[in-house]
Structure 1
Amino acid sequence: MQTKLTRFSFIAAACLILAGCGFALRGDSSIDAKLQPIYVASDRESQELSSSLKRQFAINDVAVSKRRKEAKLIVIVKLLDEEKRSVALDREARDAEYALFESASIELQSPDGTNLRGPHTLQQRRLIVNDPDNPVGEETESTIVRAEMREQLSIRLARQVEFWSHQLQDQP
């Protein structure tokens, strides 16, 4: 009885510690092999987001083609907007908090250019508490946070493509 209670207590403690540390299973982007390789198209302003999306596909073992002609699905990605808004001011009317916004559009096409899904817009937001006495830190922090936001946006875009690919498989 004592060993069962000890074992149960250990497993419960391990689960609580694991949940408390922020660990979460990310899942993978499973796209059927019949729909691969995928070509990711973007304009100049969206190159960083496009590269991040390709990296997400590579992490999840989704084949990405460098040539549009070889692809079975075309993913068109566009970074629509980057915005910074003041949320709160301090006593000296400087930004105490500000919000960063990024939105992107994604569209799925067949190799012949037929629109299969989309366009669909996704948005990422972050609230940042600012130190008004450190303007250099604000710029550096904004750059780092924007890079993180694009990475998160690319994960969401990859999941959207996965969702659409499952819909396409279920169609007759």
Structure 2
Amino acid sequence: MLALRNNSLSLRMLLILISCLIVLEGCGFRLRGSMGGDLALPPLYIQSSGSNLFVSELRQALDNTQTKVVSERSAAALIIGVGAEKLNRRVLTVDASGRVQEYELHYTVSFALNDASARPVLSSQTLSARRSFEFSGEDVLAKEAEEAQLYRDMRRSAVQSAMRRLQALSISSVDEMGTDESVIDETAIDAAGADSNAVDVVP
């Protein structure tokens, strides 16, 4: 009887653990190494102007890889330059009274990768995502929360797309920076972006 009770408790704990992992995954958390874990670029510095949530999430993603993100530009072999995030909203549909029924949200951020001598390694990439959502003036707070969540989802998709493109870099070519040869494996980049329908990448 005691053994049966212990087995029941163990099964219950396992189910609780699995539920917690599912919740964490849904909130955007990633286990170490689950996204770009084998990315191994030279020491990298992230440069941006002002506060940028994309930068924060990108840094977290890079921390889960073999790439070291340094705090001093002088210690970096590669520099990622990140532009400002742009969040826009436009009306999609209105009712007969002119009240908004549906909005389209647009998220855009750009980044580029250079070596320490400012030579381009990865040309400027514009990551752009769109989402639409129904709006109701009767539940404004809930709709504001939904809008904020959609922007978070688009930002997360943009970070994942950026990570795939960094991962597609030809590491051997990056190690030979300074030559006239391309340091980008274009075929790998095209393949890396092919599975993403959430974020459009515009060179």
**Shorter-chain TM-score tier:** 0.7 to 0.9
Unaligned runs of 5+ in 1: 1-22
Q: Which residue of 2 aligns with 1:38?
A: 44
CA–CA distance in 2 between the matches of 1:29 and 1:90?
A: 48
How many angstroms does 1:111 deviate by?
Answer: 0.9
User: Against the structure 1 CA distance between its residues 166 and 125, is the aligned structure 2 distance closer, same or farther, given a 3 Å change threshold?
Assistant: farther
Give the Cα separation in 1 of the matches to 2:126 and 2:61. Answer: 18
**How big is the shift at 1:166?**
4.3
Higher share in strand: 1
Question: What residue number does 1:146 align with?
Answer: 151
Cα pair distance change 1:124/1:29, threshold 3 Å:
farther
Identity of aligned residues (%): 21
Give the AA of the match of 2:36: D
- Name the structure 1 match of 2:102: 97
- Gaps (5+ residues) in structure 2? 1-25, 27-33, 182-203
RMSD, matched Cα: 2.6
Runs of 4+ aligned structure 1 residues displaced above 4 Å come to 169-172
What number of residue pairs does the alignment pair up?
A: 146
**SS of equivalent residue, structure 1 residue 104:** strand
1:15-164 equivalences under 5 Å are 27-28=35-36, 30-32=38-40, 35-45=41-51, 47-164=52-169
Label 1:165 to 1:71 Cα distance change in 2 as closer, same or farther (>3 A): farther
Contact 1:31/1:165, CA 8 A, preserved across alignment: no
Q: Do the aligned residues in 2 keep the contact of 1:29 with 1:162 (CA within 8 Å)?
A: no
